[in-house]
Each structure stands twice: as C-alpha cells, then as structure tokens.
Amino acid sequence: MLIIDCPYCGPRPEPEFTHGGEAHIARPADPSQATDQQWLEFLYLRKNTRGVFAERWRHARGCGRFFNALRDTTTDQFLATYRAGQKPPAVPVGGER
Amino acid sequence: MSDPNRRPPRIDARDWLEPLPAATRFSFRGSPEAAAAASRALGVELSQVACRANAVGERAALWLGPDEQLLIGAESDAGAMREGLVAALGDTPHSLVDISHRQVAFAVKGAHAEWLLQSGCPLDLDIGQFPVGMCTRTVFLKSEIVLWRTAPDTFRLEVWRSFADYVASLLAEAAIELSA
C-alpha cells in the first residue's frame, strides 16, 4: 500500500486519499474576456505526462484538504507533497528511481 | 460451499465492544480565532495541533482538519453547549452544525482493541504511532470512521449511523479469530 505524506496530517495510507487531476491550472483571470480557446484549455485540456507530474490530491477520509503532490507516473512514487497555493519544490528531473 | 444465508455473528455485549450512550455532537468549522472563542465557551481547548483531541469531563474537541473539529458532549449537555458556543462565537465567521444523531459511538477496548481495529483500518495504530489523545478521521474497510485513542487499550470509534452495523459486524467477525 502506498503511504502518502499529507502536508497536514503526516504519512497516511492510500485508501484515505482521492486523486484530483492535474495541479496548477489557473482559471482565466478575467472570465468574461476569455476566449473559447482559453476556456477549452482551462476546462478540458490536461497533460498526460510520463515522469514527474504535479497533481492535486485530497485527503478525503482524513483532514479533507486538497494538496498538491509530485508523483512519478512511471513508478507511482510520490516525490513530494506540498500545500495548495505553494510552488512545487525542486525535484531532479526524472526523480529518484 | 459455505451457506449463502450465513449472517455475520450479531454483536453481543462482549467486553471488547461497548456501544456508548447517545451524545451531543457538533461539527465546528472556523478560523483559529473562532476556535479560540469556542475553546473559551466550551472550557475545552480546541487543538491547533493536527490529530489531537482534548477532553475536560464529558466534553471533548477532536481535531479533524485544519479548520474542522468534532465537539462531543453528554446528551443532556446539548442546550448548554449550543447556547454557550453561539453566544461566544457571535459574529465571528464559523459553521456550527448539530450532528448528534448522524453518528453513533462504540468503545473498542481490551488487550486486543488495537488488533481488532487493525483488521479493517490501514492506519498504523501502534501506540508509538497513534498515542493516547490522538484522533483522526480514517477508514474501516469501506466505511469512514473517526478514531480517538482515549486510553492505551481503549478507542472511541465514531461511525455514521447507517454504517454502524457494518463496522460492528466486521469487528465481531474479526473477533471470531480471538476465540478460536
């Protein structure tokens, strides 16, 4: 079982968490002026990265908080977790294998 | 083939699983300022440390999230708790919801309490990792529960009413191994 390090509660087992998709997707700053293409990108277009990927996770059956995680999508290894609103910490490209 | 009509053994009043009496419960959410006001009203410090519960008498405050606490008191204390909290919180932004009847509580106790809960809870409940006074929302197999270690061999388990039979029956099933 994966142990995920919740930034609020510490290391916790995976069944307590839910996945929230790609992180750091900003809503258009002025929604009424956004073009259809900008809305399309905001709402629907997501990366499908092979390697280190920043994702949102939610400690749904714990503290209930969303946070961000850097996960290697090829190894399923969590490289770092950090609170929502923070910048991703520097992790060597490719991460630790 | 096992009998398809076989039911898990019903819970009886064995000494390791005790249904606790009805209680008053509030779901409290708010900033640290609101939590401080609620602490003064309750006479119980709402922990700002993750996963810690504080109790004074029958009143208790369990940290569930950075802005979320589960407040527990005696059933007869409902009016006094509510009035005290409402008066102390005043205009401070907060949410206070009476969830007394949403969930029920069990005490899981005895030398095997940890082992029994560990049969369905993936969290490490070793006393070194989950000391007395620690509380958290977590899972018991498919059900969401709140666990609070009130003594080295006693846990308070809060579970939503409709999941109570599920959790208690699976604990009873795990306990069969103890009698084997």
The domain that contains B113 carries what CATH number? 3.30.1360.120
Instruction: Name the percent of chain A lying above pLDDT 70.
Output: 94
Confidence of residue B7 (pLDDT cuts 50, 70, 90): low
Domain assignment present for B52: yes
Name chain A contacts of B29, Cβ cutoff 8 Å. none
DSSP state of A60: T
**How far apart (Å, rounded) are the C-alpha atoms in residues B158 and B83?**
24
DSSP state of B163: G
Q: How many domains does chain B have?
A: 2
Say whether both B94 and B119 belong to one domain: no
Say whether both B94 and B121 belong to one domain: no
**How far apart (Å, rounded) are the C-alpha atoms in residues A51 and B63?**
36
Does the pLDDT at position B33 exceed 50? yes
Domain boundary at B74, B98, B122, which?
A: B98
pLDDT at res. B13: 45
Domain boundary at B40, B73, B98, which?
A: B98
**How far apart (Å, rounded) are the C-alpha atoms in residues B61 and B30?**
13
CB atoms A1 and B123 under 8 Å: no
pLDDT tens, residue by residue, B65-77: 999 999 999 999 9
Confidence of residue B119 (pLDDT cuts 50, 70, 90): very high
Mean pLDDT over B84-113 rounds to 95
Does the pLDDT at position B175 exceed 90? no
pLDDT tens, residue by residue, B94-105: 999 999 999 999
Q: Looking at residue B69, which CATH number applies to its domain?
A: 3.30.70.1520
Chain B interface, mutation test: which of A2, A3, A12, most B Cβ atoms within 10 Å? A12
Mean pLDDT for chain B?
Answer: 92
CB-closest option in A8, A14, A16 to B66:
A8
pLDDT at res. B11: 44
Helix, strand and coil in chain B, % to nearest 5: 30, 35, 35
Interface of A with B (CB under 8 A): 1, 8-10, 12-16, 61-65
Confidence of residue B1 (pLDDT cuts 50, 70, 90): low
pLDDT tens, residue by residue, A11-47: 999 999 999 999 999 999 999 999 999 999 999 999 9
Does the pLDDT at position A92 exceed 70? no
- Around Cβ B43, how many Cβ atoms within 10 Å? 10
CB atoms B65 and A8 under 8 Å: yes
Chain B interface, mutation test: which of A3, A63, A65, A66, most B Cβ atoms within 10 Å? A63
Mean pLDDT over B153-170 rounds to 96
So where are chain A's domains? Answer: 3-26+42-83
Yes or no: is domain A3-26+42-83 CATH 2.20.70.10? no
Q: Which domain holds residue B64?
A: 23-98
pLDDT at res. B80: 97
Does the pLDDT at position A83 exceed 70? yes
Domain assignment present for B149: yes
Say whether both B113 and B130 belong to one domain: yes
Does the pLDDT at position B147 exceed 60? yes
The closest alpha carbon to A56, from A89, A15, A84, belongs to A84
Mean pLDDT for chain A?
Answer: 92
Confidence of residue A1 (pLDDT cuts 50, 70, 90): confident
A83 → chain B, closest CA residue: B66
Name chain A contacts of B139, Cβ cutoff 8 Å. 15-16, 61
Confidence of residue A97 (pLDDT cuts 50, 70, 90): very low
Distance from CA of B123 to the nearest CA of A (A): 6
Say whether both B131 and B71 belong to one domain: no
CB-closest option in B66, B136, B138 to A65:
B66
Q: Say whether residue B51 is in contact with chain A using an 8 A CB cutoff.
A: yes
pLDDT at res. B95: 97
Domain boundary at B98, B125, B159, which?
A: B98
CB-closest option in A1, A10, A62 to B137:
A62
